[in-house]
Chain A
Amino acid sequence: MQPDEIAKISRLELRARKVVEGFVSGLHRSPYFGQSIEFVQHREYVPGDDTRRIDWKVWSRTDRYYLKQFEEDTNVRVVLLVDGSESMQFGAGSLSKFEYAQTVAAALSMLILKQNDSVGVGLFDSTMRSIIPSSSRHNHLQAILKGLSAETAGGKTDMIGVLRKAAEVMSHRSIVILISDLFCDRDELFKGLQLLRQRKHEVLIVHTMDDQELDFEYAGTMRFEGLEDAGKLTCDPAALRAGYQKALETFLETIRRRCAGSVIDYRLARTSEHLDAVLSHLLNFRIGMRRV
């Protein structure tokens, strides 16, 4: 699905559904069915419990109603961390980076929920602005979409704080998907990511960048005003292009290298890029993880 076409759909739900339908219809098989069967304990029946979960063997011995409790109801727990800082407002094309991140997060949530996996979403800037707790219920999608749609990009980024907070909140081993432009202090970023990794979370970064940020194809005298108070500069961008690209390349290379060093999956996503490709990358990552 082309971002241009996606951008025409105003509602995030429809946008995510369109992406997912297009993506799923392109798959030959849907291999992600299964459930957790690891037994944990019995619990006494209380009215309202699903009678299908009553352990009849225990009842035959004790004549009391106990329910079987399993360790986990879902296959995978996924936490999507969406960067909602001011720098994500930028978008020279049809979608801003934030809109792109919203769409990716919504589509991923939809896919994950379809697999009966659990998904939670956290939207942050300098703080964790909103948190939608993980759940695998089908109606959970509405909560996610509502939460994502309600937010706009703004505020500065405090990546270490956000990641530390996320690490504290997440008690279960999860897949953390960070969707951000990563315009923050690199050391703090990786310190936070390292924290997640130490707590056995799998981390995946969807590095969202706009075409103009990557290609810098501006011409004529321009006045650049930095988002998140990053400074101002009036210049001939063509004259600075080579230097800009060199600095950018250094930045990307640093990110890639340090991600690899921390066993963090990294995916650079252009806002002009097909969303399918990003989804595919993430699913492949999940397959790879299940094999381990």
Chain B
Amino acid sequence: MGWLTQYFLNPSYVLPGAALVSLPIIIHLLSRMRYKKVRFAAMEFLLQSDELNRRRLIIEQLLLLLLRVLAVLLIVLLLARLVLDPSQLMMLAGAKTHHVVIIDDTLSMRQQLDDETVFEHSISTLERMLKQGDTFGSQATILLMSQPDRALVTNRALNRSLIDELTPQLRNLNCTWKAGSPVPALQTAYNTLSSDGGVAPQVHVLTDLRASDWLGQPEISDALDQLDTIHARVSIIQVTKQTESNVAVTSVTSNKYATAINTAWRMEVRFANHHSEKVTGLRASVYVDGLALPGNILIPDIEPNAEIPVTHDITFDTPGQHEVEIRLDSDVLVEDNSRFVVVDVADKRTILIIDEEGSQTDAGFVELALSTDQMAAEIRTPDVLQNQSLDDYDMVYLLNVSKLPADAVILLRDYVASGGGIVWFPDDGADPTFYNTTLRSADTPLFPVKLGTIQAIPAATSDQEPQFQRPVFSEHPVFGAFSELPFADNILVSQWYGTEGQKPAEDNPDENDPLKVAVLAKLTNGDPIVYEHQVGDGRVMTFLTTAGRRWTTWPTVPPAYVMTHMLMHQYLQKPTTVVESRIIGPPLRFEWPVTDYTEGVEVFLPASDENADNSFRRLQAAPVDNKKNKEDSGEETGEDTSSPEETSLEVTISEADRPGVYRVRRFTQEGEAREKWLALSVPVTESNLLVAEAGDVEQLTEGDHVQVVSAEAASELSTSDQGRELRWVLIALLIIILLCEQLLALRLSFHPEVKQS
């Protein structure tokens, strides 16, 4: 009788029900056999009436009998839960109810309700649905929205033992700190259900139904439409209904995450008000290495649904990496009230000045301009570029360089490409071939223009003042203030390099130009004097005059000169690689060439309730499967990703799933420890707790297979969909048939009129 399961969810009711269908016929026959006998005189009229009405009566009696049989049949179908699906293929494939439950475990589910979080409420709702369910003939698959590829259970028979097994598992589930879209989970549900061929596929999504997650994403409509193709009903169970106000720290950024001790490090903190009313009087605390700094960040009033930036300076008094946390007072969603950042603090910031000039006078001027307590400039000859790594330098000056060996050029190219900054000051000793060919090759595009001939102002005569040129600066972080400062007029230029070829547009780099060459300053005669262009992640600035006094009076105008070099340092400073900030998302994965570090990796997790006693993990890196790596390029990897051809090691820190600062320590082949500090913060997209309107979500798809229900109204898992099961159709038919039966029975029976006394 297995075929019955194709059409009935309770097939065991079918055969007894079929026997019941014969009941009206039996009752009818019995009633014909059990009669009251009457000796009657007026038989003549009775026989006449019988003769006239016999045919009609037989038809009416048969119709009444048929209606009664149908009524019993419909009741049996309702109890046996008839399942009909337009897709006969589905029926032939072997039908059973398959429930795919998707639990939203994204960050916003951590919102606090009265005495539990929304996530905990969704788990208790699911437990109730499981317990209330009639466990006959159903299958269950339970997914988490954050990782739909790792189902809690897959296509298991929904019975008591499964519920007993699931209950502790569900209670131990933790909500993640991640953002997440329902799309992957819905697609997984589709894949699961389409391969299963269940006749009544059901998808239940336990979610907080945030507008940011559910609306404005065409992919969700596509995923829901896809589910409609297999006739799956989607029940979106809304665990929370009310939109709560929430203020969040949305970002902590800075121009640089490396600074020196006793130097004010400036950060920009942004606060968002996801609230319908203006928020006033907010304060944020600043924690450095877990200790609160005195004083708070005073936050101006934030308009509804607005975000404001607030700058704040911190001074570090010890070198090393420092964990900085900005923390707001608690609200309904605690997790987005704090954000982390790591700052690499050095005793001094180091700058390399290469000067080929014998006396290195020009280098002296630059060193003097940069001479503060927090900076240390090293003056070297070009030879140093052949045997020294540049990673420890914030930037590199190249003064009066005639030409450089090829490996030095490659070293500079790599330095700039990885984020470093260099500044050229060529003098009359420059080798035009080197500058115009080697430095402008496609492989090492370190110079922005072709050098032309040296230009000079006309020689001064006795009766005429020298006709100096003055630089005119464009808007730029380095030169932005010069136009307003009076001393800028004192900068005079007597000699400079002319350029060959087409000149780039001033301050408006060509978008198609990979180098993005821009002119930052021109002389009054129109000749460009300062260029900037980009190579990889780094920048190159080029002055077509000297850094010393030979061709310009710039060094003799100290405020302008010092300001220029200080701001250039800030602008070109190579970002530190030992600290990094990320948003919690895919598992944290590091990959590096096998020659760089050994397999052993030590990880220090941020302190939490779970690992308060042991936050240290020792991990072992594994060789990378290059083929797999090529195919699977979606995962976020560390900065040390090597080319696929090289043998690499990789390690995944699965526990890096919560906000805080993680320290990853690797060891060079020489045994030297190198640490990387990672600040993980929660995704900002989860902070807006605006709940989507149920109707809007239901209208994401043109079909009517999507229904939003409240957690309280969520039905048990085994209750199949009304449309799929034809329950309401059967009930309507039953009502109609019972009405017809009553009307016909009324017509066929005798009801004496009540005589009034």
* A230 and B750 in contact, given A235-B50, A239-B53 (Cβ under 8 angstroms): no
Answer whether residue A63 sits at the interface, using C-beta atoms and an 8 A cutoff.
no
A-chain residues with CB within 8 Å of residue B442 when the two chains form the complex: none
Shortest C-beta distance, A19 to chain B (Å), equals 24
Q: Are B41 and A240 in contact (CB under 8 A)?
A: no
Shortest C-beta distance, B367 to chain A (Å), equals 122
* A240 and B53 in contact, given A219-B750, A221-B34 (Cβ under 8 angstroms): yes
A-chain residues with CB within 8 Å of residue B36 when the two chains form the complex: 220-223
Binding-face segment, A103-111, A245-253, A272-280: A245-253
**Which bucket holds chain B's interface residue count?**
20 to 34
Q: Are A87 and B750 in contact (CB under 8 A)?
A: no
B-chain residues with CB within 8 Å of residue A222 when the two chains form the complex: 35-38
CA A235 to CA B58, docked complex, whole Å:
11
Answer whether residue A238 sits at the interface, using C-beta atoms and an 8 A cutoff.
yes
Please list 25 pairs of residues, one from A and one from B, whose beta carbons are closer than 8 Å in the complex, sorted by A's number: A89-B39, A90-B41, A217-B752, A218-B750, A223-B37, A223-B38, A224-B38, A224-B39, A224-B43, A227-B40, A227-B41, A230-B40, A233-B43, A233-B46, A233-B50, A236-B57, A236-B61, A237-B750, A239-B748, A240-B46, A240-B50, A241-B750, A242-B49, A244-B42, A247-B46
Q: Are A90 and B40 in contact (CB under 8 A)?
A: yes
Q: Are A213 and B42 in contact (CB under 8 A)?
A: yes
Select which of B32, B47, B48, B52 is within 8 A of A234 by beta carbon.
B32
* A90 and B39 in contact, given A240-B46, A251-B45 (Cβ under 8 angstroms): yes
Answer whether residue B31 sits at the interface, using C-beta atoms and an 8 A cutoff.
yes
CA A220 to CA B751, docked complex, whole Å:
11
Answer whether residue A183 sits at the interface, using C-beta atoms and an 8 A cutoff.
yes
CA A88 to CA B42, docked complex, whole Å:
10
Select which of A88, A234, A242, A251 is within 8 A of B35 by beta carbon.
A234
- Leading 9 A-B pairs by shortest Cβ distance: A243-B49, A238-B750, A226-B43, A230-B43, A247-B45, A90-B41, A87-B41, A221-B35, A247-B48
B-chain residues with CB within 8 Å of residue A21 when the two chains form the complex: none
- Report the interface size for chain A: residues with CB under 8 A from the other chain: 41
Contact residues of B between 736 and 757, Cβ < 8 Å to A: 748-750, 752
User: What does DSSP make chain B's interface, helix, strand, loop or mixed?
Assistant: helix
* A224 and B32 in contact, given A217-B750, A238-B748, A243-B50 (Cβ under 8 angstroms): no
A-chain residues with CB within 8 Å of residue B38 when the two chains form the complex: 218, 222-225
Q: Are B748 and A248 in contact (CB under 8 A)?
A: no
Q: Are A224 and B40 in contact (CB under 8 A)?
A: yes
B-chain residues with CB within 8 Å of residue A236 when the two chains form the complex: 57, 61, 748
Contact residues of A between 196 and 228, Cβ < 8 Å to B: 210, 213, 216-228
B-chain residues with CB within 8 Å of residue A244 when the two chains form the complex: 42, 45-46, 48-49
Shortest C-beta distance, A217 to chain B (Å), equals 5
User: What does DSSP make chain A's interface, helix, strand, loop or mixed?
Assistant: mixed
Contact residues of B between 16 and 36, Cβ < 8 Å to A: 31-32, 34-36
CA A236 to CA B32, docked complex, whole Å:
9
CA A226 to CA B60, docked complex, whole Å:
26
Which residue of A is nearest B748, CB measured?
A239
Q: Are A248 and B40 in contact (CB under 8 A)?
A: no
Answer whether residue A181 sits at the interface, using C-beta atoms and an 8 A cutoff.
yes
CA A251 to CA B46, docked complex, whole Å:
12
Which residue of A is nearest B60, CB measured?
A239
Answer whether residue A15 sits at the interface, using C-beta atoms and an 8 A cutoff.
no
* A231 and B47 in contact, given A219-B749, A237-B750 (Cβ under 8 angstroms): yes
Answer whether residue A97 sits at the interface, using C-beta atoms and an 8 A cutoff.
yes
Select which of A220, A234, A247 is within 8 A of B49 by beta carbon.
A247
Answer whether residue B116 sits at the interface, using C-beta atoms and an 8 A cutoff.
no
Contact residues of B between 44 and 77, Cβ < 8 Å to A: 44-50, 52-53, 57, 60-61
Select which of B44, B52, B748 is within 8 A of A243 by beta carbon.
B52
Shortest C-beta distance, B748 to chain A (Å), equals 5
A-chain residues with CB within 8 Å of residue B37 when the two chains form the complex: 222-223, 225
CA A60 to CA B364, docked complex, whole Å:
203
Q: Are A226 and B50 in contact (CB under 8 A)?
A: no
What residues of chain A have their CB less than 8 Å away from a CB belonging to chain B?
A: 87-90, 97, 181, 183, 210, 213, 216-228, 230-231, 233-248, 251
CA A223 to CA B52, docked complex, whole Å:
18
In addition to A220-B35, A237-B750, A247-B44, 6 A-B residue pairs with Cβ atoms within 8 Å of each other are: A183-B41, A213-B40, A217-B752, A235-B50, A239-B53, A243-B50
Q: Are B40 and A226 in contact (CB under 8 A)?
A: yes
B-chain residues with CB within 8 Å of residue A225 when the two chains form the complex: 37-40
A-chain residues with CB within 8 Å of residue B41 when the two chains form the complex: 87-90, 97, 181, 183, 210, 213, 226-228, 230
A-chain residues with CB within 8 Å of residue B39 when the two chains form the complex: 89-90, 224-227
Q: Are A221 and B46 in contact (CB under 8 A)?
A: no
Shortest C-beta distance, A207 to chain B (Å), equals 12
Shortest C-beta distance, A81 to chain B (Å), equals 18
Task: Pick from B50, B52, B53, B749 the residue with the most CB of A within 10 Å.
Answer: B50
Shortest C-beta distance, A86 to chain B (Å), equals 8
Select which of B31, B35, B42, B750 is within 8 A of A248 by beta carbon.
B42
A-chain residues with CB within 8 Å of residue B50 when the two chains form the complex: 233, 235, 240, 243
Shortest C-beta distance, A112 to chain B (Å), equals 29
CA A97 to CA B49, docked complex, whole Å:
23
CA A228 to CA B36, docked complex, whole Å:
20
Task: Pick from B32, B34, B46 the residue with the most CB of A within 10 Å.
Answer: B46
Q: Are B53 and A221 in contact (CB under 8 A)?
A: no
Which residue of A is nearest B48, CB measured?
A247
Shortest C-beta distance, A57 to chain B (Å), equals 61
B-chain residues with CB within 8 Å of residue A88 when the two chains form the complex: 41
B-chain residues with CB within 8 Å of residue A239 when the two chains form the complex: 53, 57, 60-61, 748
CA A251 to CA B49, docked complex, whole Å:
13
A-chain residues with CB within 8 Å of residue B32 when the two chains form the complex: 221, 234
B-chain residues with CB within 8 Å of residue A221 when the two chains form the complex: 31-32, 34-36
B-chain residues with CB within 8 Å of residue A183 when the two chains form the complex: 41-42, 44
CA A171 to CA B629, docked complex, whole Å:
136
Shortest C-beta distance, A218 to chain B (Å), equals 7
Shortest C-beta distance, B746 to chain A (Å), equals 10
Shortest C-beta distance, A90 to chain B (Å), equals 4
A-chain residues with CB within 8 Å of residue B750 when the two chains form the complex: 217-219, 237-238, 241
Shortest C-beta distance, B675 to chain A (Å), equals 98
B-chain residues with CB within 8 Å of residue A242 when the two chains form the complex: 49, 53
Shortest C-beta distance, A250 to chain B (Å), equals 8
Shortest C-beta distance, A24 to chain B (Å), equals 30
Shortest C-beta distance, B745 to chain A (Å), equals 10
Q: Are A248 and B45 in contact (CB under 8 A)?
A: yes
CA A148 to CA B31, docked complex, whole Å:
42
CA A174 to CA B750, docked complex, whole Å:
46
CA A134 to CA B60, docked complex, whole Å:
57
Shortest C-beta distance, A210 to chain B (Å), equals 7
A-chain residues with CB within 8 Å of residue B752 when the two chains form the complex: 217
Contact residues of B between 433 and 468, Cβ < 8 Å to A: none
A-chain residues with CB within 8 Å of residue B42 when the two chains form the complex: 90, 183, 213, 244, 248
Contact residues of B between 615 and 630, Cβ < 8 Å to A: none
Task: Pick from B40, B60, B748 the residue with the most CB of A within 10 Å.
Answer: B40
CA A248 to CA B748, docked complex, whole Å:
20
Shortest C-beta distance, A108 to chain B (Å), equals 23
* A223 and B35 in contact, given A244-B45, A248-B42, A248-B45 (Cβ under 8 angstroms): yes
Q: Are B45 and A231 in contact (CB under 8 A)?
A: no
B-chain residues with CB within 8 Å of residue A217 when the two chains form the complex: 750, 752
A-chain residues with CB within 8 Å of residue B44 when the two chains form the complex: 183, 230, 247, 251
Which residue of A is nearest B53, CB measured?
A243
CA A231 to CA B48, docked complex, whole Å:
12
B-chain residues with CB within 8 Å of residue A251 when the two chains form the complex: 44-45
Shortest C-beta distance, B32 to chain A (Å), equals 6
CA A227 to CA B34, docked complex, whole Å:
22
Shortest C-beta distance, A98 to chain B (Å), equals 11
CA A248 to CA B41, docked complex, whole Å:
12
A-chain residues with CB within 8 Å of residue B60 when the two chains form the complex: 239
Which residue of B is nearest A97, CB measured?
B41
CA A233 to CA B36, docked complex, whole Å:
11
